[in-house]
Amino acid sequence: MAQLLDRAVKLGWVLLKSVLRFLFMFFNNCVAIPSYCLYLLLLQPLRIWDSSTFWHIEGIMFKWLLAMVSSWGWAAGYTVTEWGDDVRPISEEEAMVIVNHQSTGDVCTLMMCLQDKGTVVRKMMWLMDHVFKYTNFGLVSLIHGDFFIRQGKAHRDKQLVYLKEHLDKYYNSRDRKWIVLFPEGGFLRKRRETSQLFAKKHSLPHLSHVTLPRLGATHVILKTLSAQLENGNVVNKTGNKHKGLKWVIDVTIAYPHARPMDIQTWIFGYKAPTVTHVHYRMYPIKEVPVETEALTDWLYQRFVEKEALLAHFYDTGSFPTLDRQKEAVSRQMTLDPVWLCMVQSFAVASGYM
């Protein structure tokens, strides 16, 4: 009887905490997102007069909004430990970031772990599924200049044309540095069986922890944003200020016991405190081929490596060492609670005004 009562008390506390967290986040969205939109509406004359300053201010507020989302998980004890290369030194250089995709929590995890990477968050562009356009954060991403892509064969060719036009129009004009995409084109649980059948049919590696990536968006980004070589010389086709992509950053997200965290967990906080592990590996852009066949092989190889990384993590609880490391070193990613409180206070004051 005592055990039953104890369980009932714990369940009641979890339910109460979930309701309180949901109410706080609902309030948070109601004050922060309209304030972001109204500030930018008031700053439209500045956009006409000095667009670079306008997008600089927008980027700062965009980072604050993502910090609020990060704080939801951080307050519930959901933290991030980082492995592999330290990407902070290249935070001001242009890079394409490729990430494995297991659940909706992947985006929240990236929002958190990129907060301490200099100006990355405010100068980044996301490629995400078009359904995110209709979420509470969709309007913010639309204003920021992220690209919403529709999946499926019926839309594929047209979407790649739209992506090329979007990059030409917004990437350089808004001073973007990092562009983030999920080459698998969907969640692991939804694509695994199809990917394995495709791999079997074409004598490709059998993957369980990731799926075979799709080439389209990656190819368009590399061709559009990379500096081109002509007669051995670099020819910058991305504008005078921007020198083109310098890096490809391969990000692998691993959840304990291979149980991905979804956005519902992030919001309601009903799971015990959890550490998500994020592994980085950097490749100079000169090592990345642009030709279709060579790029396909290169991208497949990255996801074969991801498979090995994740298998090692699920077996041992840690990632293996990189070739240039003597031992695997992890770094606990932390958020400044004082700064988070200041951001939240600014949002509440803005909402009140």
182 CB burial (10 A radius; 0-12, 13-18, 19+): buried
Mean local confidence (pLDDT), 192-215? 91
For 26-56, the pLDDT digits (tens) are 988 888 999 999 999 999 999 999 999 999 9
How much of the chain, in percent, has pLDDT values that exceed 90? Answer: 52
E strand or H helix at 146, and its extent?
none
For 210-229, the pLDDT digits (tens) are 999 999 899 999 999 987 54
Statement: the pTM of the whole predicted model exceeds 0.95: no
For 121-134, the pLDDT digits (tens) are 999 999 988 878 88
Domain boundaries, the chain: 79-335
CA atoms within 13 A on the CB side of 74: 21
- Of the candidates 190, 160, 293, 170, which has an alpha carbon nearest to the alpha carbon of residue 238? 170
Locate 111 and state its tokens: 């929002």
Burial call 195-219: b when 16+ CB within 10 Å, e when fewer = bbeebeeeeeeebebbbbbbebbbb
Average pLDDT over the chain, rounded to an integer: 87
**Tokens 């055990």 sit on residue:** 3
The pLDDT of residue 232 = 40
Helix (H, G, I), strand (E, B) or coil at 153: helix
- Does the structure show a pLDDT above 60 at 238? no
C-alpha angle 182/324/180, rounded to 5°?
Answer: 15
The pLDDT of residue 235 = 54
| Cα 333 from Cα 70, distance rounded (Å) | 12
The pLDDT of residue 130 = 81
- Does the structure show a pLDDT above 80 at 242? no
For 301-335, the pLDDT digits (tens) are 999 999 999 999 999 988 988 766 655 677 888 88
Q: What are phi and psi of 121, to 5 degrees?
A: -60, -45
Query: Which residues, 6 or more positions from 187, have their beta carbon under 8 angstroms from its beta carbon?
Result: 101, 102, 103
Of the listed ranges 47-56, 78-87, 139-148, 240-249, the one predicted with least confidence: 240-249
Which amino acid would we find at residue 150? R
| Cα 231 from Cα 229, distance rounded (Å) | 7
CA 201 to chain centre: 31
Mean local confidence (pLDDT), 245-259? 94
> What is the assigned CATH class of domain 79-335?
alpha beta
- Does the structure show a pLDDT above 80 at 119? yes
Of the listed ranges 103-107, 134-138, 197-201, 283-287, the one predicted with least confidence: 134-138
- Does the structure show a pLDDT above 50 at 3? yes
E strand or H helix at 61, and its extent?
helix 51-75
Query: Which residues, 6 or more positions from 9, have their beta carbon under 8 angstroms from its beta carbon?
Result: none
Mean local confidence (pLDDT), 139-152? 88
Residue 165 or residue 327, greater confidence = 165
- Contacts by 324-329, CB closer than 8 A, 24 or more apart: 328/83, 329/83
**Tokens 């609880």 sit on residue:** 317
Q: What's the pLDDT band for 269 if we cut at 50, 70, 90?
A: confident
The pLDDT of residue 49 = 93
- Of the candidates 159, 148, 185, 155, which has an alpha carbon nearest to the alpha carbon of residue 299? 185
Mean local confidence (pLDDT), 260-283? 90
